[in-house]
Structure 1
């Protein structure tokens, strides 16, 4: 049984949470309040909340009340700044929004997640099952770059990586003098095991190109990198990309710009 999108913000009837046959719940643009008698949804495996207003306590209670939950998607959740995820069978966590902190309790099967706060060089436990990863990165944000590198270093079996560049006007443009790329990538030295990389939406600024250059230098098994810029990129930048040194002698770099 599945609950699907509707077109306008609405209030969820509390009787919904008495439906124990639900195995997939997808809600969009609504206000959600759990009934005081809520005892969980024992068969729910997928929970997808997009533009939903809910209290932190109700969100955590909803998640922990779904013991079979495997996929959790949270997009633009109102009024929630931090969350503790308790989901012993959770495998996929997809989140979009600004959170002060995301923590996990008894969530040992999770295949990927990003958490706010201080970003380590790599995670204490490698993600050995992660082989395909998509990241949306603001290349002018130091914390986002560090989080991306942490993920890449912690994924020894990663095969495919897709990156989409995101630009935020309020972020100051980085320069090589304010971001030590070589130190970040190589101290300590941790090769990145990805084989196929696609990077889209870049404008050709210095921080983007330096990231690409460093990724090529520290990916010894890379087979193919495809770069898709936004708009026209100068021939000089195209030639610079092709000339970047790479750790893998088999790496093919394809620039799909119009220049």
Structure 2
């Protein structure tokens, strides 16, 4: 077996029995060499992942919706290539060793409607594709603090994430140039804040050759 997918189509109320079933599913994944796991739970309460998920060394693709990452010390997924997070939270504070997430083979990271993604140090030297959609915690300051943002070559932002980059003063130049080759911006609002943030990314990306903008909205 290569892939396990768990979906709930409609919202529900958590019960100890259902939580136990999901826990058992993750234990199965950890013990049977599963490579691809999708957990999409349509509930209002976020599900705290059991620590057994962090011992699963065979996972290459992980997609999670409505979860809480409570990271044990020096968490790592040694073979994970793709990580997709939606409506999830990373529990921790910058500067604590227990909040280091080691992803040595990760190439693609997608964050949608997630919080606290800036409060965990992610070590992923092979990351090239990054999507940050509906995120309100990633700012230009993160580009100076987190090395992965300096290495990515393909970046996708939506309008709200782009605007939030400028919740700190928008610099003319970043500390180091970016390696971006392509930039995609969706749901772009024509405003001073959005445009200034986009121009900052472009100014600091000498290797960029592809720019995609869609769903442009004029602010009245």
- The TM tier, using the shorter chain, reads 0.5 to 0.7
Q: Which residue in 2 is equivalent to 1:180?
A: 169
User: Taking structure 1 as reference, are residues 130 and 221 closer, same or farther at Cα in structure 2, changes over 3 Å only?
Assistant: same
Does the CA contact (< 8 Å) of 1:126 and 1:154 recur in 2?
no
User: Are residues 104 and 26 of structure 1, via their aligned partners in 2, closer, same or farther at CA, if it must alter by over 3 Å?
Assistant: farther
Q: 1:211 to 1:116 in 2, by over 3 A?
A: same
So what's the TM-score if we normalise by structure 2? Answer: 0.66
2:155 matches 1:161: yes
Higher relative contact order (CA 8 A, sep 6+): 2
Please state if 1:48 is matched with 2:38: yes
Cα pair 1:100 1:117 within 8 Å, conserved? no
What is the match of residue 255 of structure 1? none
**Partner SS for 2:184:** strand
1:43-192 to structure 2, matched below 5 A, reads 43-51=33-41, 56=48, 59-64=50-55, 66-77=56-67, 80=68, 82-84=70-72, 85-96=75-86, 97-101=88-92, 103=99, 107-111=103-107, 116-118=117-119, 127=125, 129-138=126-135, 141=136, 143-146=137-140, 149=143, 150=146, 151-155=148-152, 158=153, 160-166=154-160, 179-182=168-171, 185-186=173-174, 189-192=175-178
Q: Using the alignment, how far apart are the partners of 1:72 and 1:104 within structure 2?
A: 18
5+ residue gaps, structure 2, are 13-17, 93-97
Unaligned stretches of 5+ in structure 1? 1-21, 168-172, 235-259
1:131, distance to aligned residue in structure 2 (A): 3.2
TM-score scaled to structure 1, two decimals?
0.57
Alpha-carbon shift at residue 211 of structure 1 (Å): 0.8
Matched residue, 2:214: 228
Work out the CA distance in 1 between the residues paired with 2:139 and 2:194: 10
Structure 2 match to 1:197: 183
> How many Å separate the matches in 2 of 1:210 and 1:218?
12
CA offset at residue 117 of structure 1?
5.0
Q: 2:103 and 2:195 mapped to 1: Cα distance? A: 37
Q: Deviations over 1:121-180 (max 9, x none)?
A: xx7x673x3333322144xx4x3124763443133xx1x32222238xxxxx8797x632
SS in 2 for 1:61: helix
Q: Pick the structure with greater CA Rg.
A: 1
Q: Which whole-Å deviations, capped at 9, do the CAs of 1:33-52 have from their partners, x for residues lacking one?
A: 235xx574322001111117
Alignment partners' CA distance in 2, 1:164 and 1:43? 35
Alignment coverage as a number of residue pairs: 188
RMSD: 3.7
Q: CA deviation at 1:205?
A: 2.6
